[in-house]
Structures are given as structure tokens and as C-alpha cells.
Structure 1
Amino acid sequence: MKSFTVAVAMALALTANASIASLSLGLGGSLGDPLVIVFNGAAGNKPVGDTGYSASEDAHASEPAPTTHDAYSTPSDGEHAPSSTPPSDTQYNAPTIPSDTQPAEPTSYAAEPSTGVSNGEIPDGQGNTFNTPSGAMRFPWNYGNSDKVVPITPKSKNGGWAMSPDQMCTPNSWCPYACESGYYSAQWDPSAKLYNGQGSMNGGLYVDGNGKITKPNPNQPFCAPGLFNAGIKNTLGQSVSACQTVYPGNEAMLIPTVANPGGSAVLNVVPKTYWLGTSAQYYVNLAGSTADQCIWGNADKPIGNWGPYIFGAGQALDGNTYISVQYNPLYLSSGFKATDTYNVKIECESGYCNFPTGGECKCEKGKCSVDNGCTVTLGDGAKANFVIY
């Protein structure tokens, strides 16, 4: 495995005027790299909190490696570039699966977080008809629940859990779940303190050896509202799906946000209080995609981790939000042409948005306004859109 470390203080100063003590960058965006921002092609699934990044050109297929960052620290060699292979225990090689998710409702990006988020007990799941294989735990929710939990491929072995379709929720394990667009799961292992390796997959609810499901953070809701300050505006005549990685969890890109033709959708932008300061990463599919394409693809079919774009979004310790766009290196290395897909630009809707030198952040006709990707800083109260055109 080859790794490298790059100082980015100059890039920060010239590109976003960000607080050097409150921003971290990384290369890639993959299983094992929760993405946050992009500077000069350095996309990384990072907590925001330092001034450097490191990345590997190779990926560990069997070991997710989320990143760890404190102020002024340098990430470890465990960080790595986009993976083309899912972990061995979550392998799913079917690029197309039957539709078993309800269509996404049109969502106004300008919508504010709704009230009434449940802080209650775990439901019993008896109201759903989802798949529950022998030895697996029934998914506790049905569609349209007040907790804002969204089932993922409920006809597959995962039965609704935010796990790979052929992966089951079993006793003595952590079982993540997904939340509707704009919301994030507020349940994870409170003792997990490692971005890399042990603890990084301990998201969601815990199932003990007797099959009892427990809520690890009982005073927190199942799904909490994100910052509601960034979304997708789709000007195309076809839908586009953005697939958020599950982190903490197996980091597969399973959580869908669908922007309908000519419509908009809010993205989950996690606050700085999210698990260990990490943030959100999205693999964005081709035009015409739906929630069904939020799965592992392959080098012959650019969906999921082979989708054409990677978006990042997260709040830094300084209170600013950083959002980024870049072409997906896996999409390009597989022979797909960036010029064959749609364009993306970040557009400020309101408030103070700090753009890179040149006053724009876009990837158009195969080239980004900053080499390999760019980042926009949103000040307090600002809102912006990823405009697809």
C-alpha cells in the first residue's frame, strides 16, 4: 500500500479562507472514508478538524478504515482511496435488484426540519411484511413511521436495515438503520472511539445474544434533523439519486436521496456534534437513476460506488459548513467519460457562501473549476444547492 501526506494550508488560505485549525481533507471517498470536502482533487470522508490528509491508492477489501482527526493531526496510513471492492462480509454483486422501496416524495430543499421526531421506544416491527430470514432480527419499523426511519431493500436479506442487501441483522451485532433525507441516525456505540477499524461499524441499534434489541443512546431520537442548509436542484428531465454511505456502519452507499426531474431534494448535512466529528458522503448516480441504484455497482455499470460524482457535506468545529463536488475517480478509471454525464455546480441560495478563487465551484464538460474538485464554505445561516444541469 502506498500512502502520502500533503500539506493543505496554502490551499485552505487561497481556496476557502477556512480556519486552518478546523478543517481536514482527504483523498478518495470510499468504503472506509466518510467524505467531507474536496480541495484540488482531495475528496475525503473526514471529520473536520485538522490541516492535512493522507490516503492510500489501494483499498482494504475486508477492513473499513474511517478516518481519525484531531486539530493539527495527520491521519494515519489506514486511510485509503475509493474502494472498488466491498468488504468480504458485505459483498453484493448484483447491480440491479427488484424495486422494493417506495418512491421518494418530492422534497422542497427549502423545507425546515419537521417537528415531532420521536424519542421513544423501539417498535416491534409487527406491522411490516419485510423479509426476515431465519436467525435474523425483524426490522422494527414500517414505511411512513413517525421516527423518520426509512427501510432499505426490505425484500432482501437485510430486511430493511441499512446493511448490504445480502447481509442479515443477527444477535451479538450492531444493526444500522437509515433516516429520511435531511435526517441522520443519532444511535451508535457510545464507547466506539476509533475512526479506523474497531468501532467504526458500530452504528444503529445493538442486538444482544438473546436477540434483544437495545437503543444505545436512549435520550437521543432515532433520527435527528441535520442542518438543512444544502440540497440538490435537478434541472434535468430525469431523476438522479444520491447515495449516502452508512457510517458508522459498513460504509456501503445505501441511503438514497432522490431528486425528481425538475425538482429538488434536501441532503443530510450532519452537524459538528455527529459521531466523532465525521460527516456525510454521497455517491451520485447517472441521470435516470432511482433509489434502486444505491447499491454496489461494478466496473461495467457505473452505479453506487462507480457513480460519476462524489458529494461531501459536513459542519466544522468553527461552525461553518463545507460542501464539495468532484468526479468519482472510480468512474473515470473504469473508462467512463466525464463528458458523457451531466454537469454540477454549487450555487449559493442565501447568506454568505465563500467560493474558491474565481468565484465558482463546478464540474462541467469533464473538467472542474478547481483541479479534480472544489469546496464551498457556508457561513452561519447560509444555504446552497448542488445544481445538476
Structure 2
Amino acid sequence: MIFNSQLFVALGIFASTFAAPVADENGHQHIHAKRGGTCQFPNYNGMVAVQTGGQNGGWAMSPDQTCSQGSWCPYACQPGQLMGQWDTSVTTYSYPGSQHGGLYCDNSGNLQKPNQNKDYCYDGAGTVSAQNSAGSDVAFCQTVLPGNEDMLIPTNVGGGSNQVLAVPGPDYFASTAAHYYINPPGVSTQDACQWGDQNHAQGNWAPYVAGANQQNNGDTFVKIGWNPIFTGSDLSHNKPNFGIKITCDDGNCDGLPCSIDPSKSSVNSVDSNQSSSGAGGGDFCVVTAKNGAHAKIEVFSAGEGGN
């Protein structure tokens, strides 16, 4: 598995209407209707509360969703870390199991930890980082998977700084990748890492997307591309004032160059010998960092990205 070719919410709209199946004494599974109670965000070690002003109460869920009894409640972790809990009976990326991330809020209002072999949050592969050469802070917003796949998990990359990104290994949920929306410099994670609208090139309307995951042999796939929601909207009439590119620390990478500089080309153009077009028409390129090599996704001011 490498990447979903389009990084956007596909199946998560109705996640909150499903509850976890429970087997009766004959082994039959039933879906219990939700009751009125909720489970509060526990703020366990490594967890990060997101968009706390909504009904989600810090859980990595839509602001109009609650962590209700009889449902799965995903959460965010510190930058570079992955959520370590999900429905362990789900082994493939398919609906509705792809919604069953985080802790289970049982019908008594108690939080259940399904995966006893993992912490609530744990370090990713550590093979990809974000480098901010653009000046102002840049928000990388990771989608919630397993969960509703909204871009709610915040990683702030300060100007001139480097931040490790959460990169899943093959032991992560259904061997899926991490997906990020890359927002314009100067947009805070509070504003960027939530569902947006076509009036602002941020959130799910951000110009660029990225993804990464590591395989069993230590190779890490790193992808950058245009967000097809952006390119298909009126926002694309104004080119972004920043670009992105993948670099490799030790040169042990295949697929370079892989960059996007809107000052040098049109919207939806990618500088790569191996660029492709994904679902929705967003062009992208992929670099393979070989055998544990470290790659960077660098954000730069348009026209200042070099080769």
C-alpha cells in the first residue's frame, strides 16, 4: 500500500451514527443504539485536545460530534506521534471499520483501551520531517485515520525550524499512510486544522497535500501534490505564494526532483520526471527514501526554492 491518490474526506460523514458491534451469547453481533451519555476527553499521556470549543470537547472529531456512549472516539497526539488505539478487529481500510479509531466509549460511559500492546500515543518512523524556509509559521494538518478523515491533527512548524512528522510503519492501522494538508505561511493550526470554505485557501481548501508511510524493508514513501479541491475551485485563480519540495539528507532517495514552485509554472504543475495525476486531477510526485533514509518536506517562499 502506498497512498490514497486523493487526500480528502471520503467515508467519514456518518461515522457518529454507527456504534461498535457487540456479540451476544450466541456469537451474533448487534449494533446498540447510542444512549444519552458521553465520555470526556481524558488527556492521557501524549494526547492533544483539538478544537475544544465544539461539542467534540477535544476529541479528533467534527465540532458537532460528541464522544457518545457506544461509539469510537479518535484523538490527536503530539507532533511526530501516532494514535496507538483503534478497533483491532478491523484489518482493512473499508467502511465502517475505517471509522473505528481511538478509544471505545462503552454503554456505561467508560473508556475502553482496545490495544493493550500499544501506548495511547507512540513515535512514528521518524524518517520524514517538515522544514519551514518560508518565514512565518506553517500548519501541517494531519487527517484522522482511523476516524472521519478530517484534517484535525495539528503540527505547527515555526519559521526556520524543522519538525518531525508522524509517519506510520506497517504495523499501523490497515498499513495506511499519514496524510497532511499544507497551509499557507502565517495561518495558525487553530484556523487551519478544521473544515474550511472556498473563501480561504486553508484547511481542506489548502493548496497542497502530502503523505508518508514506511514499509517493512525500511523504505519510506513520501508524496507531495496539489489538492484537487483547491485546483478545482476559484481559489486556484490566485497562485499560492509558497511552494514545497522533497529533499533527502543523505542522498539515498529515488524520485528526485519532486517539487512545486508556482512562481515557475502553472497551478497543478509538478517538477518531477515521474509526476502523476490522481483522483480529482491533482498532480503529485513520490520519492522513496531508501532503507531508513531521512527525507524533508520543505516549505519555501515562491521563487526561492532553488532546484
Shorter-chain TM-score range: 0.7 to 0.9
Alignment of 1:124-139 (within 5 A): 135-139=37-41
| Structure 1 residue runs of 4 or more that deviate by more than 6 Å after TM superposition | none
CA gap of 1:180–1:198, structure 2 versus 1, over 3 A, is: same
**Per-residue deviation, 1:191:** 0.9
1:30 equivalenced with 2:8 (yes/no): yes
Relative contact order: is structure 1 or structure 2 higher (C-alpha 8 Å, sep ≥ 6)? 1
**Per-residue deviation, 1:218:** 1.7
Alignment of 1:14-29 (within 5 A): 23-29=1-7
Partner of 2:86: 188
1:307 equivalenced with 2:209 (yes/no): no
Partner of 1:362: 259
**Per-residue deviation, 1:155:** 2.8
**Per-residue deviation, 1:316:** 2.5
1:243 equivalenced with 2:141 (yes/no): yes
Match of 1:305, SS? Answer: helix
Alignment of 1:371-382 (within 5 A): 371=275, 372-382=283-293
Equivalent-residue separation in structure 1 for 2:150 and 2:290 (angstroms): 30
Partner of 1:385: 296
Partner of 1:69: none
**Per-residue deviation, 1:351:** 5.6
Q: Which amino acid aligns with 2:199?
A: D
Equivalent-residue separation in structure 1 for 2:229 and 2:107 (angstroms): 39
**Per-residue deviation, 1:187:** 0.5
1:282 equivalenced with 2:183 (yes/no): no
Q: Once structures 1 and 2 are overlaid, which stretch shifts more, 223-232 or 189-198?
A: 189-198
**Per-residue deviation, 1:24:** 4.0
1:220 equivalenced with 2:118 (yes/no): yes
**Per-residue deviation, 1:165:** 1.6
Equivalent-residue separation in structure 2 for 1:317 and 1:263 (angstroms): 30
Match of 1:340, SS? Answer: coil
Equivalent-residue separation in structure 1 for 2:109 and 2:225 (angstroms): 42
Match of 1:380, SS? Answer: helix
| Deviation readout 1:275-297 (Å, 9 max, x if unpaired) | 11111000111111111110011
**Per-residue deviation, 1:247:** 0.4
Q: Which amino acid aligns with 1:360?
A: P
Task: Judge conservation of contact 1:308–1:341 (CA < 8 Å) in 2.
Answer: no
Equivalent-residue separation in structure 2 for 1:327 and 1:364 (angstroms): 11
Question: How large is the RMSD of aligned CA atoms in angstroms?
Answer: 1.8
Equivalent-residue separation in structure 1 for 2:82 and 2:42 (angstroms): 17
Equivalent-residue separation in structure 2 for 1:253 and 1:327 (angstroms): 16
1:268 equivalenced with 2:161 (yes/no): no
Equivalent-residue separation in structure 2 for 1:341 and 1:328 (angstroms): 15
CA gap of 1:224–1:375, structure 2 versus 1, over 3 A, is: same
Among 321, 324, 327, the residue aligned to 2:220: 321
Percent identity of equivalent pairs:
37
**Per-residue deviation, 1:135:** 3.4
| Deviation readout 1:325-351 (Å, 9 max, x if unpaired) | 001111111122373330111111136
**Per-residue deviation, 1:153:** 1.6
Equivalent-residue separation in structure 1 for 2:127 and 2:146 (angstroms): 22
CA gap of 1:26–1:179, structure 2 versus 1, over 3 A, is: closer
Q: Once structures 1 and 2 are overlaid, which stretch shifts more, 334-343 or 313-322?
A: 334-343
Alignment of 1:333-352 (within 5 A): 333-337=232-236, 339-350=239-250, 352=252
Structure 2 alignment gaps of length 5 or more? 17-35, 276-282, 301-307
Alignment of 1:132-211 (within 5 A): 135-141=37-43, 147-211=45-109
Task: Judge conservation of contact 1:192–1:198 (CA < 8 Å) in 2.
Answer: no
Alignment size in residue pairs? 265
Equivalent-residue separation in structure 1 for 2:224 and 2:112 (angstroms): 37
Task: Judge conservation of contact 1:272–1:317 (CA < 8 Å) in 2.
Answer: yes
Partner of 2:304: none
Task: Judge conservation of contact 2:133–2:299 (CA < 8 Å) in 1.
Answer: yes
Partner of 2:157: 259
Task: Judge conservation of contact 2:222–2:288 (CA < 8 Å) in 1.
Answer: yes
Task: Judge conservation of contact 1:351–1:381 (CA < 8 Å) in 2.
Answer: no
CA gap of 1:322–1:24, structure 2 versus 1, over 3 A, is: closer
